[in-house]
A = this chain, B = another copy of it.
């Protein structure tokens, strides 16, 4: 068994050697590790929250300069009140195919206090923090250990692909490997804010952004560390819920048993939404799901089983979903509590009945479930639990005249799921190219995460396929986000192969 595995690995490695662009990328990278990482950390040092217009523009300007350095005429695509999209293109004489490489340069909101090193002071560590990785000085040149990690906001989500593409372009140019497609780059600046203006930008620049395929360079590789290709993404609807107790915090002794406690009300409300096995109990929650194709089912069955490893890594004694595997569970919609707050806890607690309690919920949606419909179903559920629903802070009369009041705010950033068939010719080409560069990939019908692929498909009528490069254990969307150095190296080879496809 082990011998078969080794033979398979050798065969896969040999196959990888077959892709000349990937080979060229590796040689180039080995000779330029210091410079590549330097370009990366310079980009990571720029604060990049979508709501900070000035900061976002500095990022966009830096990426324009990064493309210009490769001889690519880059520009900003703008609509009012939105972070700019950085756009660049390479026209390839005789090419009949146009590929768009998409990534985003903005990062998730954060609380700096939670970070061990400041989020925009990129730090190299000799391993992951949860295995005591120590900060080490950035070497001027290679070789870098592939297990080192680079910590900083957007190290993995999603500045790494931008730098990987830049290095891949350098490698291709210097080794003389030819391109076969027209290439366009689209780097978005508000993906983590839910891409509220992407549709408008696509509509405004529809001709400029025509293509045969969008390659979405975002997200992590498989937990087995194998390259994966992901043919869709879940949609999303985010809802903030606030429930109300007494107008002001009350002494829990003098009023305990009498004044309703909003923390307990919220607990009961949340508990009503999900069964102990993870089944969502909101009426019609699963209605309309578009079934998987045979190819998609086969791909799921072929994906490596990482359940035991993941549970060990994440210190989990169980999972939801009645024993179904992660890959399968993310093809279903989910309901998740992002966070929950009411008064104070622990040593900061005071003995009060809180005045309000709040939770933020996200629902990850699959093809066949509209995000507005999903939000409406949740609101209906809250109403069925006895709540009078308001959309803004309720006044005294509203609170006095209803037994239970919930403020429910659906964030405007929701969008639908998307899924590209694995059976399209362009899908097969991508699978073949990735396999020749990085060995047999894991094929997933959808990512668990959400990227606004739906907007792209609907407006541009072009399919999307995701080719992520980050390590799965990257703390994406949390504090101490990081990129494993080997994933950057592998990403450069992957990008070189796809660029020359």
A binding-site residues for B, Cβ under 8 Å:
108-111, 130, 219-220, 233-234, 236, 238, 240, 244-261, 263-264, 266-274, 276, 278, 311-321, 326, 329-330, 332-354, 357-360, 362, 364, 396, 399-405, 447-450, 472, 475-479
Contact = CB atoms under 8 A, between A and B. Distances in A.
29 contacts: A111-B344, A240-B349, A244-B315, A246-B315, A248-B478, A249-B478, A251-B478, A254-B476, A256-B336, A257-B321, A258-B319, A258-B326, A259-B314, A260-B278, A260-B320, A264-B270, A264-B274, A264-B337, A266-B340, A267-B269, A267-B270, A317-B399, A318-B404, A337-B342, A338-B349, A338-B354, A341-B342, A345-B359, A351-B477
B345 A360 contact: yes
Nearest to A219: B254
A317 B268 CA distance: 18
A191 to B, nearest CB: 12
A349 B316 CA distance: 23
A358 to B, nearest CB: 5
Contacts of A261: 336-337
A501 B450 CA distance: 74
Nearest to A405: B317
A472 B255 CA distance: 11
Contacts of A478: 248-251, 350, 352
A264 B336 CA distance: 8
Contacts of A477: 249, 251-252, 350-352
A329 B260 CA distance: 13
B314 A250 contact: yes
B326 A352 contact: no
B330 A358 contact: no
Contacts of A447: 253-254
Contact of A311 (B257, B269, B317, B400): B400
A322 to B, nearest CB: 11
B339 A344 contact: yes
Give this chain's copy count: 2
A401 B316 CA distance: 8
A119 to B, nearest CB: 12
Contacts of A257: 278, 320-321, 329-330, 332-334, 364, 448
B339 A253 contact: no
B326 A255 contact: yes
Contacts of A278: 257, 260
Contact of A337 (B337, B339, B354): B354
A203 B219 CA distance: 65
Given A245-B316, A345-B359, 19 more contacts: A111-B348, A251-B449, A252-B334, A252-B364, A253-B448, A255-B326, A256-B334, A256-B335, A256-B448, A257-B364, A259-B316, A259-B320, A263-B339, A317-B405, A337-B354, A338-B345, A339-B349, A341-B344, A344-B360
Contacts of A110: 350
Contacts of A316: 245-247, 259-260, 399-400
Contacts of A448: 251, 253-257
A253 B233 CA distance: 9
Nearest to A331: B257
A447 B255 CA distance: 10
Which of A244, A253, A447 has the largest count of B CB atoms less than 10 A from its CB?
A253
Contacts of A264: 270-271, 273-274, 336-337
A236 to B, nearest CB: 7
Contacts of A479: 249
A484 to B, nearest CB: 15
A330 B254 contact: yes
Contact of A268 (B240, B246, B256, B271): B271
A340 B341 contact: yes
A403 B315 CA distance: 10
